[in-house]
Chains A and B, each alone.
Chain A
Amino acid sequence: MPADTAKPAAPSRTPVYALVGNPNCGKSTLFNALTGLKQKIGNYPGVTVEKKIGTAYSQHGHPLTIIDLPGAYSLAARSPDEAVLRDVLLGRRADTPIPDRIVCIADATNLERNLYLVHQILDLGRPVILVLNMMDVAERAGLVVRAARMEKELGIPVIACEAINGKGLVELKLAMSRHDLPLSRHSWAIPAPIAPAVSEIAASLSENDRRPPLIARAEALLLLTDQDSVRVAGSRPLSERTVEILRSWEKRWAAQGTDWAGALVNSRYDAITELCTHVIERGGMKTGASVSDRIDAVVTHPVWGWVVLGAIMSALFLSIFTLAQFPMDWISEHMASLADAVKHAMPAGDLRDLITDGAIGGVGGVVIFLPQILILFFFIGLLESTGYMARAAFIMDRLMSRVGLNGKSFIPMLSSYACAIPGIMATRTIEDTKDRLVTILVAPLMSCSARLPVYLLMIAALFPVATVPVAAKVGIMISMYALGTLGAFGFAWLFKRTLLKGEPPLMIMELPPYRLPKIRDVALHMVERAWLFLKRAGTIILGISILLWALTAYPKAPVGATDAQQIAQSYAGMAGHALEPVIKPLGFDWQIGIGLITSFAAREVFVSSMGVIFNAQSGEGNTAPLRDALLAAKWPDGRLLFTPLVCITLMVFYVFAMQCMSTIAVVRRETNSWRWPLFQIAYMTGTAWFVCLLIHQIGRALGY
């Protein structure tokens, strides 16, 4: 049979390549290697859940557009993530053109399973390049994978590759630069009783849904194996006629009691097994356990596993406190001397106050936390790139299944320690819609890095003397994180029993082999986060700081009024006063109220708000540390405002309250309704209020 050739892409248009593969096959590494820094990623890449688009260059220097699609085991989608992959490849999405060519990446160490998806994609009748990744690992495991033989069997370019070492990239680019790519000549026997159904549905698809004939056949096969199709917004639905035909075949088979879906999967596997017997040679089976197995013996152990997880978590929080101290002091000193320099250089007046109190005070108070946020992302990046994250999910599964969630929810929840937004986006890999929704609802309870500045400020106010051991500070910090985590589990348990009753969870998850971390990838990720954080500090937080300054500076009090009187009668003061009756039972006054309101922009804005409000009262000349300003603050009757009890209550309030516009926007997008984000605001902030009321009133009654 002569190799069919695809039409060369029109030279005027940039050809679109899609990268497709199982999770953990090294797809992201390959994408990074091909596109380098020429990537367009959404704001929050998280784990490979966002659609990433990059540009690579062919051997002749022509640009090639590359779409990195989410990893999946099959085209039969079970999560929104996989649905995006399926819909892009089938041309069901309006926002993404159907890719001209597909680059399939398969893990050579586990070819049988990886080929399942590849095989489905070959059915699509698009030009495909197959990349066999991790050839070095396969070789070490005693597997000989013959790429040349595979190329002969399938009739498409097959490239042996080690993406992590950059081997095979030149060959891949050469293949991608070819004007003509042969179509696959793979063949497999569709079980005879199914054949008429396939052809009838395919005919309807090409007639009523305007699919090209090859895609129609592949989609027909998919529809027959995919029991409950996951649908995502933005994809075109099937025509009624096609659905009708599909239903009638399903009914017919149900009456006969044949498992057609199983038969199709099995006959596909038969074809793959047949292919593998020609391609893979199992050399001398390695004896003894591999390094990965030996690490796993400890890390997934029912007792030692917890010890390791606990040690890693403690190391994480400890280093946030100790390692970050030096760069934080450095930033704080420079911010203070900058403000003082401006104070000396400019005449007194509104403009000077705007710059020192508004801009420098507000932004500086937030930028100081950059080192700690970097450490947090460094740890999370490290855990992800070594493969430990999946083990943590495995260990946590035992615990999570008690509250009705599965271990996969742990990854979004751990990411939420950094920021709820990538956490919520990482829930896209959870198959069960109810489990996914519960995870989204509780994820913001995990203390994110934006709360860190608030906790740190409050802890600083709690322990003003330098002699307090670090352990006490770390202890309070860990208990805040623990409180949020317990809250998340508690609410997950409650929601799974009441609002979102569902089947107990089912987890099937691959644990990737351990790898040495790719420091470059981790560093790239950290730089990205740092940049996002600084951008936010330079835009939103700067804006809010200036706005807040203006709201505290106007309307002007009569000449001769003190700074305190000025703030009290300003616009911000009015808003704070309006809120005061609600928060007074918690021990918060109207000044804290202003901070609570501005926190909706981002929680760390609380710190900059306190900076603006209290520094404005600290008088002329020097820029006193915010902590001292807070400790000096008093109620009108002379009682101290930031008593230890209030500091603790305020921290607890931040543990529970939903105060982040960006998170609300993401939840709205992910759940596709306003109902869930509004519910989330109500239940989280409501809980915060009640818990704080209890703490404050009990604390007061006990005499604190």
Chain B
Amino acid sequence: MMTAEFRQPRPRMPLTELPVGATGRVCALDGEAALCQRLREMGFCESAVIEKVSGERTLLCQLCGTRIALSDRAAQHIVVELIRGGV
């Protein structure tokens, strides 16, 4: 497995800034309550693992077996920690 255990905390960033091709784990949702609930129900809940497939204005993500397209305005409220790939 590529996920080596790091001693230092993993870098955190909004999903919009996760590099394309990298995988991150959701740490927190920081938007309005209604948006957060909607994101959670679509599967973007805390500790979900997301792979960013492509990302411009509209992001394409792989989330436990499904492809989900979401606007950057929604993605910026998803805080992820980088766990694999990128950089």
A binds B: yes
A269 with B45: CB separation less than 8 A: yes
Closest chain B residue, CB of each to CB of A504: B73
With known contacts A73-B42, A112-B43, A407-B58, A401–B34 Cβ distance under 8 A: no
Q: Which residues of A contact B41 (CB under 8 A)?
A: 73-74, 76, 116, 265
Chain B nearest CB, measured from A81 CB (Å): 14
Q: Which residues of A contact B46 (CB under 8 A)?
A: 266
B33 at the interface (CB under 8 A from A): yes
Closest chain B residue, CB of each to CB of A259: B33
With known contacts A73-B41, A112-B43, A113-B42, A509–B70 Cβ distance under 8 A: yes
Query: Which A224-260 residues have a C-beta within 8 angstroms of B?
Result: 225, 227-228, 259
Complex formed: what's the CA distance from A39 to B74 in Å?
39
Q: Which residues of B contact A398 (CB under 8 A)?
A: 56-58
Q: Which residues of A contact B53 (CB under 8 A)?
A: 296, 300
A407 with B69: CB separation less than 8 A: yes
A265 with B58: CB separation less than 8 A: no
Query: Which B50-87 residues have a C-beta within 8 angstroms of A?
Result: 53-54, 56-58, 60, 64-71, 73-74
Complex formed: what's the CA distance from A78 to B41 in Å?
12
Total contacting residues, chain B, CB less than 8 A: 30
With known contacts A116-B41, A141-B65, A508–B56 Cβ distance under 8 A: no
Query: Which B5-37 residues have a C-beta within 8 angstroms of A?
Result: 29, 33-37
Query: Which A380-407 residues have a C-beta within 8 angstroms of B?
Result: 390, 393-394, 397-398, 401, 406-407
Q: Which residues of A contact B35 (CB under 8 A)?
A: 506
Complex formed: what's the CA distance from A76 to B29 in Å?
19
Chain B nearest CB, measured from A301 CB (Å): 8
A394 with B69: CB separation less than 8 A: yes
A406 with B40: CB separation less than 8 A: no
A637 at the interface (CB under 8 A from B): no
Query: Which A262-313 residues have a C-beta within 8 angstroms of B?
Result: 262, 265-266, 269, 292, 296, 300-302
SS of B interface (majority)? mixed
With known contacts A394-B60, A397-B69, A507–B74 Cβ distance under 8 A: yes
Query: Which A72-92 residues have a C-beta within 8 angstroms of B?
Result: 73-74, 76, 78
Chain B nearest CB, measured from A283 CB (Å): 13
A508 with B38: CB separation less than 8 A: yes
Closest chain B residue, CB of each to CB of A395: B58
With known contacts A261-B37, A262-B40, A508–B58 Cβ distance under 8 A: no
Closest chain A residue, CB of each to CB of B64: A112
A510 contact from B34, B37, B68, B71, Cβ within 8 A = B68
Chain A nearest CB, measured from B43 CB (Å): 4
Q: Which residues of B contact A393 (CB under 8 A)?
A: 69
B40 with A508: CB separation less than 8 A: no
Q: Which residues of B contact A302 (CB under 8 A)?
A: 54, 56
A262 contact from B33, B56, B66, Cβ within 8 A = B33
Q: Which residues of A contact B67 (CB under 8 A)?
A: 292, 296, 510-511, 513
Complex formed: what's the CA distance from A269 to B64 in Å?
14
Query: Which A288-344 residues have a C-beta within 8 angstroms of B?
Result: 292, 296, 300-302
A45 at the interface (CB under 8 A from B): no
Closest chain A residue, CB of each to CB of B32: A227
B58 contact from A76, A296, A401, Cβ within 8 A = A401
Could you say which of A141, A302, A398, A510 has the most chain B C-beta atoms within 10 Å of its C-beta? A510
Could you say which of B29, B46, B73 has the most chain A C-beta atoms within 10 Å of its C-beta? B73
Chain B nearest CB, measured from A185 CB (Å): 24
A109 at the interface (CB under 8 A from B): yes
A26 at the interface (CB under 8 A from B): no
A505 at the interface (CB under 8 A from B): yes
A228 contact from B34, B45, B60, B73, Cβ within 8 A = B34
Complex formed: what's the CA distance from A141 to B42 in Å?
21
Closest chain A residue, CB of each to CB of B39: A508
Chain A nearest CB, measured from B2 CB (Å): 12
B36 with A78: CB separation less than 8 A: no
A509 with B69: CB separation less than 8 A: yes
B39 with A397: CB separation less than 8 A: no
Complex formed: what's the CA distance from A265 to B69 in Å?
22
A508 with B36: CB separation less than 8 A: no
B40 with A397: CB separation less than 8 A: no
Query: Which A509-528 residues have a C-beta within 8 angstroms of B?
Result: 509-511, 513
Complex formed: what's the CA distance from A300 to B54 in Å?
9
Chain B nearest CB, measured from A389 CB (Å): 12
B37 with A262: CB separation less than 8 A: yes
Chain A nearest CB, measured from B73 CB (Å): 5
Mask, A491-507, CB within 8 Å of B = 1, is 00000000000001111
A113 contact from B29, B57, B58, B64, Cβ within 8 A = B64
Chain B nearest CB, measured from A19 CB (Å): 20
Complex formed: what's the CA distance from A109 to B53 in Å?
19
A-B contacts, 11 listed (Cβ < 8 Å):
A110-B66, A116-B41, A262-B33, A265-B41, A292-B67, A302-B54, A504-B73, A507-B58, A508-B69, A510-B67, A513-B67
- 6 closest A-B pairs by CB: A511-B67, A113-B43, A74-B41, A397-B58, A394-B69, A265-B40
Query: B residues touching A (Cβ–Cβ < 8 Å)?
Result: 29, 33-43, 45-46, 53-54, 56-58, 60, 64-71, 73-74
Known pairs A262-B37, A506-B70. 14 more at Cβ < 8 A? A141-B65, A227-B34, A259-B33, A262-B29, A266-B40, A296-B53, A394-B58, A394-B69, A397-B58, A398-B57, A506-B71, A507-B58, A508-B71, A510-B68
